[in-house]
Amino acid sequence: MPISKRIGLILGPLAFLVVFLLPSEIISEKADHVIAVALWMVIWWITETVSISVTALLPLVLFPLLKILPIADVGANYGSPIVFLFFGGFVLALALEKVNLHKRIALSIIKVTGTTPNKVVLGFMIATAALSMWISNTASTVVMLPIAMSVINLLIDDADGFTKQDKNFALSVMLGIAFSANAGGIATVIGTPPNSVLIGLLENEYQIEVSFLKWMVLGLPFSAILVSIIYLALVKWFFPTKGILFGTSAEVIHDELAKLGPTSPKEKRVLLVFAIAISLWVFRTLINKLIPGLALSDTIISMIAAISLFALPFSIRRNEYILTWPDTRNLPWGILLLFGGGLALAKAMSVSGIVDVVATAIASSQIGILFTVGLLIVLMLFMTELMSNVALVAVLAPVVAGIAIGLDVPILHVLIPVTIASSCAFMLPMATPPNAIVFASGYVKVHQMARVGVVLNVIAVLLLIALFRFVVPVLF
């Protein structure tokens, strides 16, 4: 076990005990107990001494024992509607991956964008971002990486060898895939877990509903702008690819599509369920107006789609379905537990008065609103380089809500850009799974990722401040 994990294993419970046994109160007995549990969880989340999903189970044990919340109230957070919204999204993603439809979609996008070097980079980035809107950024990166490596190998094996221009192309493709996987998830509620943690907090604690469509109206343009900036930064600024000529990349894409064969009936069935789910998410508000009393929600739509993939027979005679329960072995169940732990921690912060204390402290200070929000965005973005963005949002989102209340600013105006910041970590391999995956390919060095990433991080901060100042107030 690495030394950091050994330290974390002891430091987490030790920090809990130190705060728990303090002779005088920091805020109140209940609030101090919540702070003690939060410290334990944050230390284990940062050091990843145990799985971050296991750490998320601590509230189920500690909150009832410390009389912070009864077990039923704590457990309810692990069964929140947002947890099931994401569960349905995971099942949809599982079906896409099982029938290889995600790969067909990605290859088709790359084929359309063209086969000159810059267009190939753009094609990979658009395809990865589009996949990341619906499946995990890890899965989208894993799908794209072998295809990208096949194209790069064409340059390694050509007559002039692997030149500096070829290396620039390889870096652009690899970093483009990783960074667009991170940025693509911002576009939808189910695209990346932090988005769902925020939606759950808003519904559970503040009875504010943000629909799938409303998030997409904000998230999709922001994601598209961010992906465009990343593309231009890679191919025009950091790693220009002038002088590369290859026509055989089109053959690689064609061969990969040929391996998939014609679109299968199963793929068509999954595509139909997927299209219906997206249509219902987009037109849910209109449908509810047309059919009063229906009360269709994003979670219900997600679960209808998930159940359909298990229940609609593909072949009655052969008793064959698109998905069977054993397929769920590949579902990221730990992320669902992480949602529950984050929501439970947020609830405890609220009922113990911590959020109110933060709000009062900010209200009595003379700090400017724009400066404070900018600082929160920077804090979230650069901290997520070092720890899980889901865990970070789970811990910081309730505090940020308190700060927004203290500033007398609508909490959505602050929480949305700060949450999106958690998906904009471009500097380090350990920041996100896509970063780690492309780093493991061997084509990217840490200093190369950091050099590009720090610039993109700063650009993302400026974009998010503009989002806070000009866009979110109009939409929300």
Residue 174 has pLDDT above 60, yes or no: yes
Residue 160 has pLDDT above 60, yes or no: no
The rounded percent of the chain whose pLDDT value lies above 90 is: 48
To the nearest whole number, what is the mean pLDDT of the chain?
Answer: 88
Q: Are residues 312 and 269 in contact, defined by beta-carbon separation less than 8 angstroms? A: yes
Residue 229 has pLDDT above 60, yes or no: yes
pTM: 0.86
In a domain, 303, yes or no: yes
In a domain, 448, yes or no: no
Residue 252 has pLDDT above 90, yes or no: no
Residue 378 has pLDDT above 80, yes or no: yes
In a domain, 203, yes or no: yes
Provide the residue type at 82 as one letter: I
CA 448 – CA 463 distance, rounded (Å) = 23
pLDDT band of 90, cuts 50, 70, 90: confident
pLDDT band of 328, cuts 50, 70, 90: very high
In a domain, 129, yes or no: yes
In a domain, 249, yes or no: yes
CA 318 – CA 334 distance, rounded (Å) = 33
Total domains in the chain come to 1
Range of the domain at 223: 82-330
Task: Give per-residue pLDDT as tens, 5-26.
Answer: 899 999 999 999 999 999 888 8
Task: Give per-residue pLDDT as tens, 279-317.
Answer: 998 888 889 888 988 889 888 999 999 999 999 887 777
- Which of 50, 63, 61 is CA-nearest to residue 10? 50
Q: Would you state the pLDDT for residue 70?
A: 95
3-state secondary structure the chain: CCHHHHHHHHHHHHHHHHHHCCCCCCCCHHHHHHHHHHHHHHHHHHHCCCCHHHHCCHHHHHHHHCCCCCHHHHHHHHCCHHHHHHHHHHHHHHHHHHCCHHHHHHHHHHHHHCCCHHHHHHHHHHHHHHHHCCCCHHHHHHHHHHHHHHHHHHHHCCCCCCCHHHHHHHHHHHHHHHHHHHHHHHHCCCCCHHHHHHHHHHHHHHCCCCCHHHHHHHHHHHHHHHHHHHHHHHHHHHCCCCCCCCCCHHHHHHHHHHHHCCCCHHHHHHHHHHHHHHHHHHHHHHHHHHCCCCCCCHHHHHHHHHHHHHHCEEECCCCEECCCHHHHHHCCHHHHHHHHHHHHHHHHHHHCCHHHHHHHHHHHCCCCHHHHHHHHHHHHHHHCCCCCHHHHHHHHHHHHHHHHHHCCCCHHHHHHHHHHHCCCCCCCCCCCHHHHHHHHCCCCCHHHHHHHHHHHHHHHHHHHHHHHHHHHHHHC
Give the count of beta carbons closer than 10 Å to the beta carbon of residue 199.
26
Residue 135 has pLDDT above 80, yes or no: yes
Distance in Å from the first CA to the final CA of the chain = 47
In a domain, 152, yes or no: yes
Q: Which residues of 117-145 are buried (b: 16+ CB within 10 A; e: fewer)?
A: bbebbbbbbbbbbbbbbbbbbbbbbbbbb
List all residues 6 or more positions away from 170 whose beta carbon is below 8 Å from its beta carbon.
152, 155, 443
Q: Would you state the pLDDT for residue 454?
A: 94
In a domain, 361, yes or no: no
In a domain, 246, yes or no: yes
